[in-house]
């Protein structure tokens, strides 16, 4: 059996798109399920579209997501270099080989001429394509033009008739007629190959067993398969992943939300949740299970269970998963992930014990990591403002008097814990013939500044006696002012 070797081959033109993350994940899973090798290859042949820092950024995001590559930039491997701009000689040699064998030709057409041809075709309602003007130049003409115009392109010869069928691992048999294919440029005038030549040469030499990529590359596959034939190489297997769609079934786009994987990182989604979510954008296990760790995915994932219908990117599902994973992280680990956010806020002077207790109490209410530092800010800063709607509704002329009496009772508690606090409040309410809620809402407001949150008694226990009592006094003073 041929060893399984898959690759993720992004172009470093910006951030890692969530679609790219899915491609990387699926390719990684196909390799890992069978003890194979996962390769990262940087496809930087379009020099005009490079973004500085993009490669480092992509690698960082893949690492964050837990997708480790076995061969690739910075890691090396037996078939490197893994950056296409470092492999130019190889592509040049293979382009020449195709020319020599009569499968490709030099093309000297100027951009102006190509524009004219295109405009004419559009005017005549024909599909725009190269008119093969240079395909039949005589060897003498070619030799002379090469002298005159060393900067020109090399195009592949597409058969004029017939068709090509291949078996896509997701779509089944797919047929393309040659007449819809253009004589694709293989080498550009800047000495760089196009994606089409480089991808085939690299997948061959890197011994890729499965090409797993987005549906947008499906129509390029017949060109690639022709190149494999021209070179006399065995082609890898192909799997084209379904499109990712917005809930309104339009193509996933920046207009409707974030499409950069790192945006989800920045927004406080856990890699476990994002990976679980992304895995289901096209794949399902065939039963009701929804929670899969990366290790479980490595066991269970298969391309046979990837559908060809577009996959809806449903952010509510991601939120649900993130909430789930947050609840299931040990508090210590959750705190470790929150630490960078706490540092950003300058909340660094609290004890580990305090932080663990606060996180433990608040975690149920967290959908994303920043929820803790936004909605739970009262663990760190005493409220300076009070939710006015809650105040108006719950703070009566008697409230301050009751709370100040309670505060005196709270001060005497030993230990100052949730059970004792609650008992004290209940006893006081009974004694004064009050409903507990009449006391509890203003108490919460005094302690947290807001109307909602985890148990107010537990919150007070975490904050401690001194801080809790001070907050009660402050709120009462504010009411009197
Ligand atoms: N460089 C292509 C991209 O940016 C890779 C396509 C492929 O995997 O063949 O998606």
| Mutation choice for ligand 1 from 43, 216, 222, 240, CB with most ligand atoms inside 8 A | 43
Cα of 33 to ligand 1 centre, how many Å?
A: 22
pLDDT of residue 253: 75
Cα of 11 to ligand 1 centre, how many Å?
A: 7
Distance of alpha carbon 35 from alpha carbon 225, whole angstroms:
27
Domain of 60: which CATH number? 3.40.50.620
Of the candidates 278, 197, 206, which has an alpha carbon nearest to the alpha carbon of residue 39? Answer: 206
Phi, psi of 170 (to 5 degrees): -105, -40
pLDDT of residue 51: 87
Does residue 447 sit within a domain?
A: yes
Phi, psi of 432 (to 5 degrees): -95, 0
Quick check: 163 and 178 in contact, CB under 8 A? yes
Considering the domain architecture, whether residues 93 and 179 belong to the same structural domain is answered as yes
Quick check: 107 and 185 in contact, CB under 8 A? yes
Atom of ligand 1 nearest to the CA of 220: 9
pLDDT of residue 256: 65
pLDDT of residue 254: 67
Task: Tell the residue number behind the tokens 């382009």, with chain if given.
Answer: 95
Does residue 137 sit within a domain?
A: yes
Task: Tell the residue number behind the tokens 């786009």, with chain if given.
Answer: 253
Does residue 232 sit within a domain?
A: no
Cα of 85 to ligand 1 centre, how many Å?
A: 15
Domain of 450: which CATH number? 1.10.10.350
183, 198, 213 — which closes off a domain? Answer: 198
198, 226, 254 — which closes off a domain? Answer: 198
Quick check: 471 and 479 in contact, CB under 8 A? no
Q: pTM of this prediction?
A: 0.94
Pocket lined around ligand 1, Cβ cut-off 6 Å: 9-11, 43, 195, 199, 211, 213, 217
Distance of alpha carbon 404 from alpha carbon 469, whole angstroms:
9
Does residue 417 sit within a domain?
A: yes
Considering the domain architecture, whether residues 73 and 92 belong to the same structural domain is answered as no
Does residue 279 sit within a domain?
A: no
Q: Show which residues are catalytic.
A: 254
Quick check: 292 and 300 in contact, CB under 8 A? yes
Cα of 348 to ligand 1 centre, how many Å?
A: 44
Atom of ligand 1 nearest to the CA of 199: 9
Positions in the chain whose pLDDT score sits under 70:
254-257
Considering the domain architecture, whether residues 47 and 102 belong to the same structural domain is answered as no
Residue 472, token pair as written in the block: 């009660």
Cα of 10 to ligand 1 centre, how many Å?
A: 5
Considering the domain architecture, whether residues 183 and 92 belong to the same structural domain is answered as yes
pLDDT of residue 388: 96
Considering the domain architecture, whether residues 393 and 455 belong to the same structural domain is answered as yes
pLDDT of residue 13: 87
**Structure confidence by residue, pLDDT tens digits, 43-55:** 999 888 888 899 9
Atom of ligand 1 nearest to the CA of 7: 8
Distance of alpha carbon 140 from alpha carbon 70, whole angstroms:
48
Residue nearest atom 2 in ligand 1 by C-alpha distance? 10
Distance of alpha carbon 19 from alpha carbon 328, whole angstroms:
27
pLDDT of residue 255: 66
Does residue 464 sit within a domain?
A: yes
**Structure confidence by residue, pLDDT tens digits, 435-478:** 999 999 999 999 999 999 999 999 999 999 999 999 999 999 99
Q: What interhelical angle do 271-279 and 315-328 show, nearest 10?
A: 140
Atom of ligand 1 nearest to the CA of 23: 8
Task: Centre a 10 Å sphere on the Cβ of residue 444 and count the other Cβ atoms it contains.
Answer: 23
Phi, psi of 177 (to 5 degrees): -80, 140
Considering the domain architecture, whether residues 118 and 62 belong to the same structural domain is answered as no
Residue 28, token pair as written in the block: 């990684």
Considering the domain architecture, whether residues 52 and 95 belong to the same structural domain is answered as no
Encode burial over 94-131: b for 16+ CB neighbours within 10 A, e otherwise.
bbeebbeeebbbbbbbeeeeeeebeeeeeeeeeeeebb
The side-by-side arrangement of strands in the sheet containing 237-241 is 37-40, 5-8, 210-214, 237-241, 163-168, 172-177
**Can you tell me whether residue 328 is helix, strand or coil?**
helix
Does residue 175 sit within a domain?
A: yes
Split into its structural domains, the chain has a count of 3
Residue nearest atom 3 in ligand 1 by C-alpha distance? 10
Considering the domain architecture, whether residues 418 and 440 belong to the same structural domain is answered as yes
Atom of ligand 1 nearest to the CA of 195: 1
Distance of alpha carbon 354 from alpha carbon 377, whole angstroms:
14
Phi, psi of 83 (to 5 degrees): -120, 125
| Mutation choice for ligand 1 from 6, 7, 8, 9, CB with most ligand atoms inside 8 A | 9
**Structure confidence by residue, pLDDT tens digits, 347-370:** 989 999 999 999 999 999 999 999
Residue nearest atom 5 in ligand 1 by C-alpha distance? 9
145, 163, 198 — which closes off a domain? Answer: 198
Residue ranges making up the domain that contains 452: 382-480
Cα of 14 to ligand 1 centre, how many Å?
A: 14
Taking phi over 0 as left and psi of -120 to 50 as alpha, with beta for the rest, 14 belongs to left
Distance of alpha carbon 202 from alpha carbon 79, whole angstroms:
9
Atom of ligand 1 nearest to the CA of 10: 4
Considering the domain architecture, whether residues 51 and 93 belong to the same structural domain is answered as no
Asked whether the bond before 81 is cis by omega within 30 degrees of 0, the reply is: yes
Does residue 256 sit within a domain?
A: no
| Mutation choice for ligand 1 from 199, 203, 236, CB with most ligand atoms inside 8 A | 199
Domain of 184: which CATH number? 3.90.800.10
| Mutation choice for ligand 1 from 217, 241, 259, CB with most ligand atoms inside 8 A | 217
DSSP 380-449: TS--SS--HHHHHHH--TTHHHHHHHHHHHHHT-SS--HHHHHHHHHHHHHHHT--HHHHHHHHHHHHHS
Q: Taking the mean position of all CA atoms in its chain, how far away is CA 113?
A: 42
Cα of 119 to ligand 1 centre, how many Å?
A: 29
User: Which residues on adjacent β-strands are paired with residue 226?
Assistant: none
């Amino acid at each position: 059996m041929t060893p399984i070797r898959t690759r993720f081959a992004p172009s470093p033109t910006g951030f890692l798109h969530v679609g790219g993350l899915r491609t990387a994940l699926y390719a990684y899973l196909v390799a890992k399920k069978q003890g194979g090798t996962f390769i990262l290859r940087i496809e930087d042949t379009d020099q005009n579209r490079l973004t500085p820092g993009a490669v480092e950024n992509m690698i960082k995001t893949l690492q964050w997501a837990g997708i480790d590559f076995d061969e690739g930039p910075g890691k090396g491997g037996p078939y490197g270099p893994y950056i296409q701009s470092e492999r130019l000689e190889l592509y040049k040699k293979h382009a020449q080989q195709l020319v020599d064998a009569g499968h490709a030709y030099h093309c000297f057409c100027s951009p102006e001429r190509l524009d004219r041809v295109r405009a004419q075709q559009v005017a005549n309602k024909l599909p725009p394509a190269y008119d093969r003007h240079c395909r039949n130049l005589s060897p003498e003409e070619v030799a002379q033009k090469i002298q005159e115009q060393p900067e020109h392109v090399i195009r592949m010869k597409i058969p004029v008739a017939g068709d090509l069928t291949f078996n896509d691992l997701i779509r089944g048999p797919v047929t393309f007629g040659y007449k819809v294919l253009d004589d694709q440029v293989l080498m550009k005038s800047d000495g760089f190959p196009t994606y089409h030549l480089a991808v085939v040469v690299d997948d061959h030499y890197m011994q890729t067993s499965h090409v797993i990529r987005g549906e947008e590359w499906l129509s390029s596959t017949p060109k690639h398969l022709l190149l494999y034939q021209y070179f006399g190489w065995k082609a890898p297997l192909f799997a084209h992943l379904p499109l990712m769609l917005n809930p309104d079934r339009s193509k996933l786009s920046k207009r409707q939300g974030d499409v950069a994987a790192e945006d989800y990182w920045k927004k406080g989604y856990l890699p476990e949740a994002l990976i679980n979510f992304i895995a289901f954008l096209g794949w399902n296990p065939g039963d009701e299970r929804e929670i899969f760790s990366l290790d479980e995915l490595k066991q269970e994932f298969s391309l046979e269970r990837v559908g060809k219908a577009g996959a809806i990117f449903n952010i509510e599902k991601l939120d649900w998963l993130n909430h789930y994973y947050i609840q299931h992280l040990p508090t210590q680990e959750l705190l470790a992930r929150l630490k960078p956010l706490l540092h950003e806020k300058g909340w660094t002077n609290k004890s580990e014990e305090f932080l663990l207790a606060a996180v433990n109490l608040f975690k149920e209410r967290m959908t994303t990591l920043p929820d803790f530092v936004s909605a739970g800010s009262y663990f760190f800063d005493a409220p300076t403002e009070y939710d006015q709607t809650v105040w108006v509704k719950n703070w009566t002329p008697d409230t301050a008097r009751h709370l100040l009496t309670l505060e005196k009772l709270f001060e005497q508690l030993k230990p100052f814990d949730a059970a004792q606090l609650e008992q004290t409040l209940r006893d006081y309410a009974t004694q004064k013939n009050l409903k507990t809620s009449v006391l509890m809402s203003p108490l919460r407001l005094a302690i947290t500044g807001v109307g909602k949150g985890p148990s107010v008694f537990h919150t007070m226990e975490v904050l401690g006696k001194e801080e809790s009592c001070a907050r009660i006094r402050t709120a009462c003073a504010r009411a009197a002012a």
